[in-house]
A and B are shown apart, each in its own frame.
Chain A
Amino acid sequence: MSMLEVRGVSKHFGSLRAVQDVSLTVAPGELRAIIGPNGAGKTTFFNMISGFFPPTTGEIMFDGEVITQLPVAARVARGMARTFQITEIFPELTVRENIRIGAESAAGLRLALWRSAADARRVEGTIDEMLTLTGLTTKADRLVGEMSHGDQRAAEIAMALTLKPRLLLLDEPTAGMGEQETYQIAGLIRRLHKNSNYTIILVEHDMRVVFNLADRICVLDQGKLLADGTPSEIASDPHVQEAYLGKAG
């Protein structure tokens, strides 16, 4: 069964047709990349999946359940987590405190006035696990706002992972990063995919990252789905080369 199934989804902002009739299916354990030129509708498409706003028409199924109109909190509860193009973190808190907010939310402690010893162990255990997974253990007590872009992104991904997501949505995780940081984040995504078997959808600009990591790639152009296939199929697709890769260089 598919993890995510999107059927004929469109989004109109007034007369602007940002996304038109896009369908795709993502299997459990798959790493799917969505690429396309600027303004192709990638982020709009992403926002509909994560529940930022509902589509104008079409249907979204997550794990066999229709979630088209569900609010963000309900999608998170069903196992969906996302990161943002511009890193969204709690800058005045430390890495550990950032992750703790996610871990306590996931543990159902959002309204709690105290933590039992068992809860505390569970939450702190999750935090340590996420720190190890993202390689931030030695930086756990630094303020996130004062860290490098790559470490901030890793912290944001760690926060998303505390929700134990069955689908992880990453919106341009290497946007605005240098060589070293891109390498750091690409390595993290690869580990999450290969070692921890997360299902991941990735919107990305950096072609090397996409073609190295993705199992399958969707190409959006002017709001429409132009192609959907394996990296080698996409690389040899004449439409894609014309609309996108050719121009990009």
Chain B
Amino acid sequence: MNSATTVGTTARPSIDSRWLQLIVIWAVLLTVPLWLPFVGGYTALAGRVLVLGLAAMSFNILLGFTGVMSFGHAAYFGLGAYGAGLALKYLAASTPLAIVMGTLLGGVLGALFGLLIVRRRGVYFAMVTVAFGQVAFYVAYSWNDLTGGYDGLRGFTREPLHLGFTDIDITNNGNLFYYFLLFVFAIAVALQGLLLASPLGRTWLAIRENERRARFLGIPIERHIWLAFTISCFFTALAGSLYALLNNFADPMALHYSLSGEIVIMTVMGGMRAFWGPLLGAAVFVVLQDYISSMTVNWMSFIGLIFVLVVLFFPRGLLGMLRRRDAA
């Protein structure tokens, strides 16, 4: 999976620095519960970074590695959250089942919607994805009986994991739940890394780099954009289902286009041409949001300002900048 971290970047780090990057990232993620309290954080915040980071990395399969812009990815995130919540509330008290149901709900609806829109390009593609997102938002907002409407879906909690030989209590133990999130996150990003380093991933890269050339190399563009969109939606819905477990709650704002925008901001701020960029972007976004919103209700204007500065001074994102420096 490490080979995917540099696909298509102009500043190519050496193999060594790629391993170093990987070691640093995993060392930080694995030790979060040890040092986070000392810097004033709490584990649920780290969980948020993982979940939104996964959403942004999933979104980046489409934006950074296929070159297609969606402004409605919150739809699949939110559908994942509602799918997981509804499964826990009405189907069975099982955390794995909730994750599967959430991922399927968001992923399958994304796949079907994708069929309708793959012929659109650029702004038109982005606009119809916003439209679908808002449709999903208003359904969740209005369908009071099922979704809880404006107040969101309550009345479910994540369940302990039953592994046969032992039970893992992720319900009350925040650190254990963090490691559970990290476990799911690790599997998901490993799959993404393998996908992007495969010949299929190179096909998508070809579409991003030059759609016309790719078409005349015999690549059926629409089919591949649909595939990338669908896979991106499944991973985003997985992140959404984890979000419902994290909060024991699913609300319509998880479907709202403002979250779609935040996913775009995290991705671009972190660096959309870098595999780990969106995770870094999510970390910066979530921490800033937590820190600034404790001081002012206008936190979004500060994040907006920081975003503008990042885009102006580091057009390749924060990770892109670090990488360029280390290549120089």
Interface residues of A (CB under 8 A from B): 50, 72-73, 76-77, 81-82, 84, 88-93, 97, 100-102, 104-106, 109-115, 143, 156, 159-160, 162-163
Contacts and interface: CB of A to CB of B under 8 A. Distances in A.
B218 A113 contact: no
Main secondary structure, interface of B, reads helix
B172 interface: no
Contact of A50 (B194, B216, B219): B216
B198 A113 contact: yes
Contact of A105 (B195, B205, B212, B219): B219
B209 to A, nearest CB: 4
B89 interface: no
B217 A76 contact: yes
26 contacts: A72-B216, A72-B218, A73-B215, A73-B219, A76-B216, A76-B217, A76-B218, A77-B218, A81-B217, A82-B216, A84-B213, A88-B212, A88-B213, A90-B209, A92-B9, A93-B205, A105-B206, A105-B217, A110-B199, A111-B199, A111-B203, A112-B198, A113-B195, A113-B200, A143-B10, A162-B217
Contacts of B214: 101
Interface string B45-64: 00000000000000000000
Contacts of B215: 72-73
B276 to A, nearest CB: 18
B194 A113 contact: yes
B231 to A, nearest CB: 11
B202 interface: yes
A92 B198 CA distance: 18
B209 A92 contact: yes
B210 A88 contact: yes
Most-contacted residue by chain B among A72, A92, A101, A112 (CB, 10 A): A101
Nearest to B209: A90
A169 to B, nearest CB: 9
Contact of A90 (B9, B213, B216, B220): B213
A88 B218 contact: no
A89 B210 CA distance: 7
B224 interface: yes
A159 B199 contact: no
Most-contacted residue by chain A among B9, B10, B202 (CB, 10 A): B202
B218 A73 contact: yes
